[in-house]
A and B are shown apart, each in its own frame.
Chain A
Amino acid sequence: MSTYAKKKGFGATVWDYLTTVDHKKIAILYLIAGGLFFIVGGLEAMFIRIQLAVPDNDFVSAGLFNELITMHGTTMIFLAAMPLIFAFMNAVVPLQIGARDVAFPFLNAVGFWLFFFGGVFLNLSWFMGGAPDSGWTNYASLAMKSAGHGVDFYILGLQISGLGTLIAGINFLTTIINMRAPGMTYMRMPLFTWSTFVASALILFAFPPLTVGLVLAMFDRMFGSNFFDVAAGGNTIIWEHMFWIFGHPEVYILILPAFGVFSEVFATFSRKRLFGYSSMVFATVLIGFLGFMVWAHHMFTVGLGPIANAIFAVATMAIAVPTGIKIFNWLFTMWGGSVRFTTPMLWAVAFIPSFVAGGVTGIMLAAAPADYQYHDTYFVVAHFHYVIVGGVIFGLLAATHFYWPKMFGTLLNETLGKITFWLFLTGFHLTFFIQHFLGLMGMPRRVFTFLPGQGFETGNLISSIGALFMAVGILIMLYNIIVTSVRNVRVGNDPWEDGRTLEWAIPSPPPFYNFKQLPLVRGLDPYWVEKMEGKDEMTPAEPIGDIHMPNSTILPFVISLGLFVSAFGALYNVDNKDWTLPVMIIGLLITFGAMFIRSVKDDHGFHIHKEDLVNDDDKEVKA
């Protein structure tokens, strides 16, 4: 039953990916879909910067500009950053803990397809009467009055993709709790696994408030309720609370896995174990916990009163402490090490000053009275791009170069990687550093234009030029990916030579069952431990035996497709069209029908037999 190493036609490959439940293939799906949405969000960003390059510009209209900023934010957070993070979690976490797959492979596929259809649905708004235009925060008073169906696309699209995210989070929690290899105790888990664990817990608690808010908004806009209608006794501030109770932890959901990536990269390319591992774990958990205690710092100017503002100001400042611990631990991981500047390491190194800059402006923003000046200006825009680009995107780019060989079996070109790095880094600082000053000089955020004579011209022009550098950097990376894939020079288990964790102990890419024999973990950085004892592979924890694998299935795709169909019915329901109710019902029938089939049809999976595993080995030797 050996299925790999066979040449397949295009149609067969597509079908393979549509039906896959293999975490490694789902990782590739997340990477492709997230990458596509990242490019869409990037294009939106470029249009924004072109519009703002000169005063009084009319490159886009005011209404279109609001759609662009809304879709840029929503796309980048929900459809680019999150799925790209899931791509690496899927690709790496099961390998790092020595598992053959995630706990729920079927759910894993459901999670991906829900995200994908939600994202496609949201982006279809561009072609179906206009995108959402109330900002990615979708504040209720504006959103409920927004004409057209843009905001409805936001509400329904995010519900669908949010469901997928929640499922993925639960899956990773279960996987990490239950599927660790023998000897892989919690305090031996690599930092990327730890941060995935904490981020998944955050997803579990942060997404429900968003979903509740979205459902209330859906009823207001599509079915005539009044949760956010002040005249009818509703309240719009409650949306802000629900949004930010989700929204602030969301920032940590994004940044913690990036921290995890950097921890792996620093240790690997310094040839040193992570400095202060225990305090790194402690800091990760603490940041995750405090992340839920600070949401109202996004609402200092709402008028919550001085007591609330003071409490949330101090709580926010407290987050600086565990974050600072992490920064110094990374610096001291390099201290005394043997630092090699590969492309992933360059991203990790550049991350430190960039993220520190974003972090300190975060503390400045925490000082509530000063925030009354910063709030909703370009200062805030600069701050969160410093943490999200300088933290999350740098982390994702580091991970892309670092894990590419493990995912695809070939190394991205280092020279092109470094060119991308320098272009993107320069562009990033050019674009966003000056925005701090624009904000302080009185430029509010989310303005579709600015009038001449207010001192905003130079700063905005520099910012737009910087954006161009970033775009060129990303284009070169895409070129790099194509060239690398065409050349397809295969690499071995440990292409970076200094791999420390389990994923580097197995082939690149790993066989579909990951580990022929589950490895025995004998300490932190288990592969490094074995290497230091002169071995080049893990000590097995079990004899070779049959491996139980799940079957591929199209059902996850169908379940998600049903919700996608149903959403169109809900969206146009307010227009009193006859077809909307049937479409809603048909869509839900598809979803529940597929779930029903999944429930009643026995699917026991299959076994890879011992003999086949041994044969596989022989084949490898011959090849």
Chain B
Amino acid sequence: MKKRLHKWRLVSLFSILALVLAGCGEPYLSALRPAGEVAQKQYDLMILSTLIMVLVIIVVVVIFVYVLIRFRRKKGDENKIPKQIEGNHKLELIWTVIPILLLLVLAVPTIAATFDLADTKAMEKKDKDGKTKDALVINVRANLYWWEFEYPDLGVVTSQDLVVPTDEKVYFNLTASDVKHSFWIPSAGGKMDTNTDGENQFWLEFDSKKAAEVKDVFYGKCAELCGPSHALMDFKVNTKSRADFDQWAADMKAVKKPAAEGEVARQGEEVFNKSCIGCHAVTPNDSRPEQARQAPNLATFGERERIAGVLDHNEENLKNWIKNPEEYKPGNTMTGTYNVTDEQVDALAAYLMGLKVEEK
């Protein structure tokens, strides 16, 4: 028995050790490493609630352990009948009132933060051209396993990599085009659903110092079951200082038509224009209505962090992806909509990898 207990202790020791080693998660992904005002507020609330709850747990566990040790039936007690106690009004009052007080301590900041995080009034202040006055607004549209980010006031559309300025509130309109998804950047703040029924609005803020620690890339995820590839519906967040962001926006607006460089890439362009352009746009100023934008905008494809949101960004993966998307993202809407030979795939890959806006 002793020996068995010993082994148990080892196992639990190892699991605790593992927990410590894992730390609080990766800084680009963990809600425990807040990298912005919203995440920080939520983190503070988590800590407050955890502290209150630990207090409750300690009280319960102390009574629990005491009772189990003190009142176990001992030898010779077999015929002892304990006193039958009906109850105790004073005690019962205590454990009704104290929890209520503890909950009040939690309820007040909860309500305050609820209203604070839902404050999107800045989105409504428009100038005479109908543009938002002094706030950056991004329309997020979730689709079966990819994300579209539209900057309505800048006239720019991009996909998969969200680009945001640091140290200011960024406002989001959230919607979905097919089934319900949920937009989540754990380091920057909690999620909000993208419904098929209408738009949701919320804001996030990205801290420049924390962003620097992760080389300006945060991970985003879909948090609502949306089909087979729900697990693979990742996106990335690129953070830039306000000046860099303005430069990026100007570059994006300036892109007219991508110029394919080199023979292979030019062939790829031809293939692309025949087989792919029906769904994929290659310029960021896509003025078509959103129903027509059936696939990710590829204007910045060469600069992306990932292929299809999850694969490492290299030509090999790109080719594999084009050849058999079903293998990498089951249930995606691209499979079977085109026919290309292996050479054409090579050409396409060369062309797509050359689609860049910044690194000319």
- In the complex, whether B195 has a CB less than 8 A from a CB of chain A is yes
Residues of B near A128 (CB, < 8 A) are: none
Interface size of B by CB at 8 A reads: 95
A293 to chain B, nearest CB (A): 15
- In the complex, are the beta carbons of A369 and B113 less than 8 A apart? yes
User: Is A486 an interface residue, CB under 8 A from the partner?
Assistant: no
Would you call A495 an interface residue if the criterion is a C-beta within 8 Å of the partner chain's C-beta atoms?
A: no
Query: Which of under 10, 10 to 19, 20 to 34, or 35 or more describes the interface residues of A?
Result: 35 or more
Taking the nearest CB of chain A, how far is it from the CB of B33, in angstroms? 9
A352 and B231 CA atoms in complex are apart in Å by 35
Give A137's nearest chain B residue, CB to CB: B225
Does B165 make an interface contact (CB < 8 A)? no
Which residues of chain B have C-beta atoms less than 8 A from A373's C-beta? 31, 39, 42, 46, 186, 189-191
Task: Judge whether B190 and A375 touch: CB under 8 Å.
Answer: yes
Q: Is the CB of B68 within 8 A of A332?
A: no
Q: A17 to nearest B CB, angstroms? A: 39
A367 engages B190 (CB within 8 Å): no
CB-CB under 8 A from A329, the residues of chain B are: 87, 92
Q: Tell me, yes or no, whether A371 is within 8 Å of chain B by CB.
A: yes
Distance (whole angstroms) from the CB of A49 to the closest CB of chain B:
15
B118 touches A272 (CB 8 A): no
Interface residues of A in 418-470 (CB under 8 A from B): 426, 430, 434, 437, 440-442, 444-451, 453-455, 458-459, 462
B67 within 8 A of A: yes
A317→B103 CA distance, assembly (Å): 7
Q: Which residue of B lies closest to A349 (CB)?
A: B68
Q: Chain A interface mostly helix, strand, loop or mixed?
A: helix
Measured between alpha carbons, how far is A375 from B330 in the docked complex, in Å? 25
Complex contacts, B238 vs chain A, CB 8 Å: none
CB-based contact B53/A360 at 8 Å? yes
The reply to whether B46 and A364 contact each other, CB–CB distance below 8 Å, is yes
- A551 on interface, CB distance cutoff 8 Å: no
Bound state CA distance, A139 and B49, in angstroms?
30
A-B Cβ contacts below 8 A, count: 300
Within 8 A of A (CB), among B79-103: 80-88, 91-92, 95-96, 99-100, 103
Chain A binder among B20-28, B239-247, B346-354: B20-28
Q: Is the CB of A442 within 8 A of B60?
A: no
B178 an interface residue at 8 Å Cβ cutoff?
Answer: yes
Separation of A308 and B68 alpha carbons in the complex (Å): 43
Say yes or no: is B224 at the interface (Cβ < 8 Å to chain A): yes
- A142-B180, A338-B71 are known contacts. Are A62 and B111 too (CB-CB below 8 A)? no
Give the residue among B80, B180, B222 with the most A Cβ atoms within 10 A.
Answer: B180
* Chain A, Cβ-Cβ closest to B231: A447
- Judge whether A393 is part of the interface by a CB distance below 8 angstroms: no
268-301 of chain A: CB within 8 A of chain B: 270-273, 275-279, 301
Q: B183-196: contact bitstring with A at CB < 8 Å (1 yes, 0 no)?
A: 01011011111011
- B57 at interface (Cβ–Cβ under 8 A)? yes
On chain A, the residues within 8 Å of B338 by CB distance are: none
Contact call B57/A313, Cβ cutoff below 8 A = no
A589 in the interface (beta carbon within 8 A)? no
**B residues within 8 A CB of A369?**
41-42, 45, 110, 113-114, 116-117, 190
Contacts of B224 in A (CB 8 A): 139, 376
The verdict on A11 contacting chain B, using a C-beta distance below 8 Å, is no
Docked-complex contact A324 and B95, CB < 8 angstroms: yes
User: With A331-B64, A373-B31, A454-B29 given, is the CB distance from A320 to B331 under 8 Å?
Assistant: no
Contacts of A317 in B (CB 8 A): 103, 106-107
Q: Which residues of B contact A430 (CB under 8 A)?
A: 15
| In the complex, A186 has a CB within 8 A of chain B | no
A310 within 8 A of B: yes
- Answer whether residue B182 sits at the interface, using C-beta atoms and an 8 A cutoff: yes
A328 contacts partner chain B, Cβ-Cβ < 8 Å: yes
Q: A142-B179, A145-B178, A272-B85 are in contact. Are A444 and B106 (CB under 8 A)?
A: no
Q: Are B107 and A314 in contact (CB under 8 A)?
A: yes
Query: Which residues of B have CB within 8 Å of A271?
Result: 81-82
Known contacts A353-B64, A369-B117, A375-B190: A303-B195 contact under CB 8 Å: yes
Asked whether A356 is an interface residue with its Cβ less than 8 Å from the other chain, the reply is: yes
The residue on B at minimum CB distance from A365 is B49
List residues of chain B with CB within 8 A of the CB of A139: 180, 224-225
B57 A357 Cβ-Cβ under 8 A:
yes
Segment touching B, from A94-102, A229-237, A249-257, A471-479:
A229-237
Contact B223 A276, beta carbon cutoff 8 Å: no
B63 at the interface (CB under 8 A from A): yes
A376 B191 Cβ-Cβ under 8 A: yes
A339 at the interface (CB under 8 A from B): yes
Q: What are 17 A-B interface contacts by the 8 Å CB criterion? A: A142-B225, A237-B197, A270-B71, A272-B85, A306-B114, A310-B110, A313-B110, A314-B110, A328-B92, A331-B60, A338-B77, A373-B190, A440-B25, A444-B184, A444-B221, A446-B231, A455-B30
- Pairs A-B, 9 closest by C-beta atoms: A372-B190, A441-B25, A447-B231, A360-B53, A303-B200, A62-B228, A276-B87, A306-B118, A442-B29
Interface residues of chain B, those whose CB is within 8 Å of chain A, are 8, 15, 18-19, 21-26, 29-32, 39, 41-42, 45-46, 49-50, 52-53, 56-57, 60-61, 63-64, 67-68, 71-73, 77, 80-88, 91-92, 95-96, 99-100, 103, 106-107, 110-111, 113-118, 174, 176, 178-180, 182, 184, 186-187, 189-193, 195-197, 200-201, 219, 221-231, 310, 330-331
5 more CB-based (< 8 A) A-B contacts, given A336-B82, A446-B225, A449-B231: A337-B82, A373-B42, A375-B191, A441-B32, A444-B221
